[in-house]
Amino acid sequence: MATKVYCRVANCVHWDSNKCTAQEITIAVEGAPTNASAVNDRQTECETFKKRD
């Protein structure tokens, strides 16, 4: 069963009516190495984001 991923970044190529359509999603802690811990949601970033032309 597919996981639904909701997104509010409308200028991403994977955005479709508040849902992410990417086959894979990578989320990281901003400016940190692999396996870092975030203190809050604002420290996270979606590395899958690609700006829509």
Residues 15-47 pLDDT 10s: 999 999 999 999 999 888 888 999 999 999 999
What local confidence, expressed as pLDDT, does residue 32 receive?
A: 86
Task: Tell me the C-alpha to C-alpha distance, in Å, between residue 34 and each of 12, 39, 42, 49.
Answer: 24, 15, 17, 18
* pLDDT of residue 1 exceeding 70: no
pLDDT at 27: 93
Looking at residue 8, what DSSP letter applies? -
Q: Using CA atoms, how far apart are residues 14 and 52, in angstroms rounded to an integer?
A: 8
